[in-house]
Amino acid sequence: MSDYERIQNRRNMIVGAFVIIGLVVFVYMVFLFRDMPIAMTKVTSYTVRAKFEYAPGIQTDTPVKYCGYNIGRVTEVSPPSLESNGKGQFVNRVTVTIAIQKKYDDIPSNVEVELARKSLSSGYIEFKSKPMTAQEIEALNPKYLQQGMILAGTNGGSEFLPKDMQDKFNVLFEKVSLLLDNVNTVVGDKENQQNLKNSLANLSKATEESISTLQQIREFSAAGKTTMLTVNEELGETLIEMQRLLYKINSGEGTVGKLINDDRLYENLLNSSEELKEALAGMKKTFNKTSEKGIKVSVF
């Protein structure tokens, strides 16, 4: 091997050694500074802990919001542990450590901590304050969140189904369940069952009677329709006869036609009436004279 080849091999070995050393230092720095943001957060923030029944989508560095603003981040999520719920029962709860920036030091101590879901795999924690009067705020002890406080967390809704909608659905389900229980109570009673059977029997009977009544109405309607057709035909024939009679009268045919249309007959009737009146007047005068003087009778 020549001196040149020997120098090249030595140079390659030195370069390879530096590359390996650089990779080792890089990996070391990554592991050394990976928790640096969390460490800095702990220095510039105060921490509180919230306990949830379950915490899906919550992990280290999950954002924490108050009134829609980012106020901190999750620094630690502890595994579930068995704890008492204050009612003599034990449940598993997840403890979430939250670092809140120190400038947000006026958050009420009775704030509600709610876990909200963005999607199927991610979420965030929302702090919600309750409406309070000045007296209620003064009565809080402590008034604001402090280092190391433990808060009770609740599992809220998602962006697709908000918490208020879930509450409405829960109320609806409770009312439906209560209604079903009442129905089961009413239907399960033997007396009510018998009354229901009687009602159904009466309904069936009423239905049959209604069908019979409808059939009679249909038959009556059919008979009435036939009668109306007959009456219409007879009325038509009567109108035709009346038209014929009126035509004859107008044309002067028959006694009535002549009486109405012949003027001479009318004048003759008037003259006869006048003559009859004069004859009756003469007879009346003669009768009056006879009554006054009597009737003279001669005997031969």
Q: Select the more confidently predicted residue: 11 or 93.
A: 93
In degrees rounded to 5, what are phi and psi of residue 58?
Answer: -100, 130
Tokens of residue 35, six digits: 């928790």
The most confident of 100-104, 164-168, 289-293, by mean pLDDT: 100-104
pLDDT at 257 over 60: no
Q: What is the dihedral of CA 276, 277, 278, 282, to 10 degrees?
A: 100
pLDDT at 161 over 60: no
Confidence of residue 300 (pLDDT cuts 50, 70, 90): very low
Confidence of residue 299 (pLDDT cuts 50, 70, 90): very low
Identify whether the C-beta of residue 83 lies closer than 8 Å to the C-beta of residue 51: yes
Residue 281 lies in a domain: no
Query: Same domain, yes or no, for 47 and 92?
Result: yes
Give the Cα separation of 75 and 47 in Å (integer). Answer: 9
Residue 154 lies in a domain: yes
Given 118, 144, 161, the domain boundary residue is 161
Give the Cα separation of 70 and 66 in Å (integer). Answer: 7
Confidence of residue 96 (pLDDT cuts 50, 70, 90): very high
Q: Across residues 174-203, what is the average pLDDT?
A: 74
The predicted structure's pLDDT at residue 94: 92
Q: For the chain, what is the largest distance between any 2 Cα atoms, rounded to a whole number of angstroms?
A: 218
Domain of 130 in residue numbering reads as 36-161
Residue 225 lies in a domain: no
The predicted structure's pLDDT at residue 297: 45
- 15, 52, 202 from 190: Cα distances, Å: 96, 47, 18
Mean pLDDT of the chain: 78
Q: Select the more confidently predicted residue: 249 or 16.
A: 16
* Domain count for the chain: 2
Query: Same domain, yes or no, for 153 and 64?
Result: yes
The predicted structure's pLDDT at residue 284: 77
* Percent share of the chain, pLDDT over 90: 13
Residue 210 lies in a domain: no
Residue 291 lies in a domain: no
Query: Same domain, yes or no, for 2 and 103?
Result: no
Identify whether the C-beta of residue 99 lies closer than 8 Å to the C-beta of residue 42: yes
Phi-psi group of 131: left, alpha or beta (phi > 0 → left; psi -120 to 50 → alpha; rest → beta): beta
Give the Cα separation of 243 and 213 in Å (integer). Answer: 44
Confidence of residue 16 (pLDDT cuts 50, 70, 90): confident
Residue 127 pairs with which residues in a beta bridge?
Answer: 66, 113
Q: Across residues 255-271, what is the average pLDDT?
A: 64
Give the Cα separation of 144 and 46 in Å (integer). Answer: 12
Given 138, 161, 184, the domain boundary residue is 161
The most confident of 9-13, 63-67, 213-217, 256-260, by mean pLDDT: 63-67
Query: Same domain, yes or no, for 16 and 42?
Result: no
Residue 105 lies in a domain: yes
Query: Same domain, yes or no, for 43 and 6?
Result: no
Residue 79 lies in a domain: yes
- 140, 214, 236, 242, 245 from 254: Cα distances, Å: 120, 55, 24, 15, 10
Query: Same domain, yes or no, for 122 and 40?
Result: yes
- Cα 94 to chain centroid, rounded: 40
Query: Same domain, yes or no, for 121 and 13?
Result: no
Query: Same domain, yes or no, for 23 and 46?
Result: no
Identify whether the C-beta of residue 107 lies closer than 8 Å to the C-beta of residue 143: no
Q: Across residues 52-61, what is the average pLDDT?
A: 86
The predicted structure's pLDDT at residue 151: 92
* Percent share of the chain, pLDDT over 70: 77
Residue 58 lies in a domain: yes
| Helix, strand, or coil (residue 55) | coil
Show Cβ contacts of residue 144 under 8 Å, excluding neighbours closer than 6 positions: 105, 106, 107, 108, 109
Query: Same domain, yes or no, for 146 and 47?
Result: yes
Give the Cα separation of 200 and 58 in Å (integer). Answer: 58
Q: Across residues 166-194, what is the average pLDDT?
A: 73
Query: Same domain, yes or no, for 40 and 29?
Result: no
Query: Same domain, yes or no, for 30 and 114?
Result: no
pLDDT at 188 over 80: no
Token pair 């014929």 is at which residue? 244
Query: Same domain, yes or no, for 29 and 47?
Result: no
pLDDT in tens, 107-154: 999 999 998 877 666 788 999 888 888 888 888 888 999 999 999 888
Given 108, 141, 161, the domain boundary residue is 161
